[in-house]
Amino acid sequence: MDTNEIILKHADQKDAESISLLINSVYRGENSKKGWTTEADFLTGIRITTEKILEIINKENNIVIMAEYSKNLIGVVHLENSKTFAYLGMLSVDVNFQTKGIAKLLLNKCEQITKNLWKLKEIRMKVINRRTELIEYYKRRGYEQTGKLEKFGSITETFGNSSEQLWFETLIKSL
């Protein structure tokens, strides 16, 4: 597969169900264990609902970018313009397409939008601190750990049920 064959486009309401299916398959359940992004070993339940995806798509200052290959959804990311920085979340790549550069394409697109369209100089994200391999991935792409921790579950959104105490760590990239 050549990454030039990947089409990036903005999601709309009709895409919400396929997006939630992709995200849940990447992070939870048996299928997620085929990839390196799984959280199935320490989180149960769903990662996100179709209703939450619709809420994100419909919210002002939000963009959900989809990556498609042969008209199939293989990746997705959420970018929010907070007016002082961009918030990046939900970065997900189908377990069968991981390590093929899809996440890099999506991250590059988010950075381009943040810098050139929104004229912002910083992207932030929250990563479960137990996910050291994921934090290392982002660090290789220029994101820095802030040391700022937030208790998992203190955010009002549903992320699943944990059998242990988890924390979100904020990562930042200056553009």
Structurally, the chain folds into a number of domains equal to 1
pLDDT value at residue 152: 76
pLDDT exceeds cutoff 60 at 61: yes
- Whether residue 153 lies inside any domain: the answer is no
CATH at residue 11: 3.40.630.30
> How far is it, in rounded angstroms, from Cα 74 to Cα 11?
13
Give me 65's structure tokens. Answer: 């970018």
**98-108 per-position pLDDT tens digit:** 989 999 999 99
Helix (H, G, I), strand (E, B) or coil at 141: coil
The pLDDT score that the predictor gives to residue 161 is 62
User: Is 21 contained in some domain?
Assistant: yes
Please indicate, yes or no, if residue 152 is contained in any of the structural domains: no
**Structural domain harbouring 71:** 3-123
Residue 94 above 50 pLDDT?
Answer: yes
The tokens 């220029």 sit on which residue?
142
3-state secondary structure of 116: helix
Say if 149 falls within a structural domain: no
Which of the four pLDDT bands, split at 50, 70 and 90, describes residue 131?
A: confident
